[in-house]
Chain A
Amino acid sequence: MTQPPKSSTAPPGSGVPTMPALPPQSGRSGAPAPRRAPDTAPARRTALAEGVDQLRAAATTEPGRLRAIGALLALLVVAFGAVTAWQTDSRASAADDVLHHSQPLSSDAADIYRSLADANTMAATGYLAGLQETQDTRKQYEDDIKTAAAKLVTAAANTDPGTSSAAIITDLNELLPQYKGLVESARANNRQGFPVGGAYLRAANDTMQNQMLPKAQDLYKNENARLSTDYGNAKPYPWFAIALGLVALGGLAWAQRRNYQRTNRVLNHGLVAASATTAVVLLWVVVGHTVARAGLDDSYDHGVKSLNVLHDARIASLKARSDENLTLVSRGAETHELADGTVMDAYDWGYDQQIAALGKGLKLADSLADDSAGRKPVAVANSSMTVWISRHKQVSEHNNAGDYQAARDGVIGKDGATAECFQAVDASLDTALKHETKEFQRSAGDGLDAMTGLTVGAAVLAVLGAAGAVLGIGRRLSEYR
C-alpha cells in the first residue's frame, strides 16, 4: 500500500522542473523522452525516467488515472492521520506536562518558598520563647529546612544546567546551611543569655528575607513561566491537521463526483468509508480540542491564578509573623525612617507592610474563588487576620508602654495571643490551597482526558480510511480487467 503512493507522488512533485513532463495528457510527447535520456545521462536517469515514463503512459489511460487518484487519496488520508497524530500528541504531552510536570514543579517551588519563610518564622518564635521554646516549634523549623532541602534537589533534577533557575538553586543550596548556622549561633548565644544572639537572629532573618526569599520567589516565577509555556503549547488548535483533513474530505468528494459522472453509480463503498472515517477524525480533533481547551482554561483561571494569589498571601502572613516576633527580639536595635521623618522599629514597620499585603492577597483570592468551598477558608483567614491585627495593636501598646512580659505573652502566649490568629490564617490558607490544587487537577485532568486516544485513534482511523479509498478505487479498477 505504501509503495505505489510514493512512486506516484514523486512525478507530480518532481515533474515541475522537468519541462516535458508537464502536459501529461498528450501521449505523443512522452515518446521522445526515453530516447533523449540515454543520450545525456544514461546511467543516472534510469530510475526516475522509468517512473516518469510509466506515469505518462498510465496517465493516458483511465485505469492509470484511477490508480493515480487512488494513490493520492490514500496519501491524503494517511497524511491527515499522521499530522493529526503528531499535532495532537505534542499538545497532549504539553497538557500532560501542565498536569504532571510543570504544575507540580511550580507547586514545589512554592513549597520551597513557603518552607523557607516558615522556617524563619519558627526560628524567630523559638528564639523569642528562649528556654521555653516548645518542641513543636523546634520540630517544625527542622521539618521546614528538610522540606526546602529535599525540594531543592527535585527542582535541581528538573532544571537544565545553565538556566537562571539552576543558578538560583545553586545559590539557595549555598545560603541554606549559612542561614542555619546563623540561627544555631543565635540559639546558642541566647541560651547563655548573651544579647548578641539577637544580632545573630537579625543576621539570619536578613539572609532569609533579603537574599533567600527573593531567590525562592524568582524560582517560583521561573517555574510559573514554564507552566505558562506548557499551557501555551497545549492550547492552540491543530490548524494544519484540520486543514489537511478538509483537503482530504474535499478530495474524496471530488473522486466520488467524478466516479458518479463517469459511471452513474451513486455509492462507492470504499470511498464512502474513507470519507466517513476522515470526517470522524476531523470532528474528533475539533471537538476534543475545544473541550481540552476549555478544561485547561478553567484550570488556569480557577486553579493556577488562585494558587498564585494564595501562595503569595501565605508568604505575606509568614513574613508578618516573623516580623512580629523579631520586633520583640530586636527591641529597637534597627529602625526605619518613614517619609515624614517618623522613626519606627524596622520590624514593626515590616509587619505593617506584610499584613497589608496579606489583606490585599485575601481580597484577591476571594474574588478569584469560584465556589463556596474555595471562598470559605479565605473568609476564615480574613476574619482571623482581623483578630490578629487588633491583638497586635494591644501587643504594640504593651511593648510601647514597656510591659515586655505582657507583649511577649501577647505574641507567643497560650490564650489570646496573636500566635492563635497566625495559626488560624496559615491553616485556612493551607485548606484553600489544597482545594484550589484539587480544582486545578480536576480541570486540567478533564482537559487532558478530552485528548485521550486522539493520537492513536487518528492514526488507526486514517489507515482504515486510506484502505477504504484504495479499495474503493480498486473496485472501479477491477472493471477494466
Chain B
Amino acid sequence: MRARDDFLRRLRAVRRLRISLKGWGGVGAMAAVCVLAVAFVLLLPLTQSRGEAGADLGGQRTTQGVQARAPKCDESTVQNQSPAPSDAGGTTIDAIKARGVLKVGVDQNSYRWGYRDPNSAKGDLAGFDIDLVTAIAKNIFGSAYTDKSIQFLAIPTNERIPAIQKNRVDMVVRTMTITCKRAGQVAFSAPYFVTGQQVLAPKVSSITGYNDTLANKRVCSAKTSTANDSLNADKGKKIPASVTIMDPVPNQLDCLVKLQLGEADAVVTDGALAASQAAQDPTVELKGSPFTTEYYGVAMNLKATDLVRRVNRILETYRTSPDGWRASYTKWLLPTLRADSKSANPPVPQYK
C-alpha cells in the first residue's frame, strides 16, 4: 500500500514537472520524465523487499537493467548534438595558431578518403577527408597558411579516441561515425557525410543487398566494426541463418583481399569504405542500399568547444562553396557512389 502511495505521489510530481518544463523543449522534459520513472522503478522493489532477505539481489539486478536502458542519448539524433557554429576564437584555436601547425589524425589506407599515393614523388596524402582538413586549416591559419601548416598523423582505428583525449592530435578526420558512446568521450562537429552499412560483392554475384540473397554466402567484416556487430545481431533475422560470418579481419581492406582471392563472397562495411574498396577493383560494386544510417563527424577534444564551433562554421561554408564539398565529392566519390546515393548531398546540420 505504501508503495502505491509513493507511486501516486511521484506521478503527480512528474505531471507538475512536465508542465514547468514545457518551455524547455520536448527532449529535456522527456529525459526528466525518464529519470523520474527510473527512480520510481528503483524504489518500488526496495520498499517492498524491506525485511525480506535475499530479494536485494533481484532489486539490484533491476536497477542495472533499467539504468542501461535509460535513453540518455539517442543514436538516431546524436549527430545533432554539436554546438552552434561561431567565428569566435578561444584557447584551443589560439594554441594551434601559436604552434603554427594543426595536428590531424587521419587514415592513410582508405582509398579516396585518406591515402598515400605511392607513385607521387613526395608520397602526399589525398582524399575526401584530406580536402576537408585542408579547408579547416586554411580557415584557421588564414594568410599564414602554408603547405607545412598541417601535420598528418596516421592513427589506427582503435587509437582515434585516445589520441584526442591525450591531445596528441587537435582533431581526427578519419571516416569516424558519430555514436552515443563516442559522443561521451570526444566532441563531434556537425555531420559532414551521411552513409550506412552496405554490402559489397562482385558485379556478377547473385547477391542483391543485405537480404536473403546472402544465404549460404561467406561474409567478411572487420574486427570490432559496426558491420560485424550487425551481422551477428541480424543472422537468422534480417539475413538468413545460413550466412557464414567469417572471422573478423584486422582491417577492412583485408576483406577486399579475401574477396579478390575468392575466400569471401561479400563484404559488409560502411558505404564510404565500401565505395573506397569498389574504387580499387572494377569487378566489384555496392549492392542494394545502406541498411543503417550513419554520420561522419570531425572529432575533437571535449574541452575544445571553441574549435568545435569554428569547425561547424567552416563546414557551413564548405557545404555550399563550389570548390568545397561538392567538388571534393565529385572528384573522389562520385565514380563509385554515383549521384543518386543518399551520400551524394551533405547532411543538413542541426545544432544543440
Contacts and interface: CB of A to CB of B under 8 A. Distances in A.
B254 A332 contact: no
Contacts of B253: 195-196, 198-199, 333
Given A130-B119, A194-B280, A196-B257, A400 B109 contact: no
Contacts of B277: 196
A338 to B, nearest CB: 13
B111 A331 contact: no
A334 B250 contact: yes
Interface stretch (A3-11, A244-252, A402-410): A402-410
Nearest to A342: B162
A335 interface: yes
Interface in A174-202: 185, 189-200, 202
A335 B257 contact: no
A43 interface: no
Interface string B272-295: 000001001100000000000000
Contacts of B108: 195, 331-332, 404
A39 B263 CA distance: 89
A193 B256 contact: no
B109 A198 contact: yes
Contacts, number: 93
A333 B250 CA distance: 7
B274 to A, nearest CB: 13
A203 B109 CA distance: 15
B188 interface: no
A202 B277 CA distance: 17
A131 interface: yes
Contacts of B155: 332
Given A194-B111, A402-B103, A335 B158 contact: yes
B159 A343 contact: yes
A339 interface: no
A200 B256 CA distance: 9
Task: Pick the most buried of A191, A200, A333, A402: most chain B CB atoms within 10 A of its CB.
Answer: A402
Interface string A330-369: 1111110000000101100000000000000000000000
Interface stretch (B56-64, B86-94, B146-154): B146-154
Interface in A189-220: 189-200, 202-203
A405 to B, nearest CB: 6
Contact of B156 (A343, A400, A408): A343
A1 interface: no
A400 B123 contact: no
A200 B257 contact: yes
A161 to B, nearest CB: 31
Contacts of A335: 156, 158-159, 250
B203 to A, nearest CB: 17
A400 B153 contact: yes
A411 B39 CA distance: 61
Given A196-B277, A332-B159, A333-B253, 16 more contacts: A193-B117, A195-B109, A195-B110, A195-B115, A196-B256, A196-B281, A197-B118, A199-B253, A203-B254, A332-B109, A333-B156, A334-B251, A335-B159, A401-B151, A401-B153, A402-B103
For the complex of A and B, 10 pairs with smallest distance between CB atoms: A130-B118, A332-B156, A199-B253, A331-B108, A194-B280, A333-B251, A331-B154, A402-B153, A195-B109, A402-B151
26 contacts: A130-B123, A131-B118, A192-B280, A193-B117, A194-B111, A195-B110, A195-B111, A195-B280, A196-B253, A196-B277, A196-B281, A199-B109, A331-B116, A332-B109, A332-B156, A332-B159, A333-B250, A333-B251, A335-B158, A335-B159, A343-B156, A343-B159, A345-B156, A400-B153, A404-B123, A405-B123
Interface of A: 130-131, 185, 189-200, 202-203, 330-335, 343, 345-346, 399-402, 404-405, 408
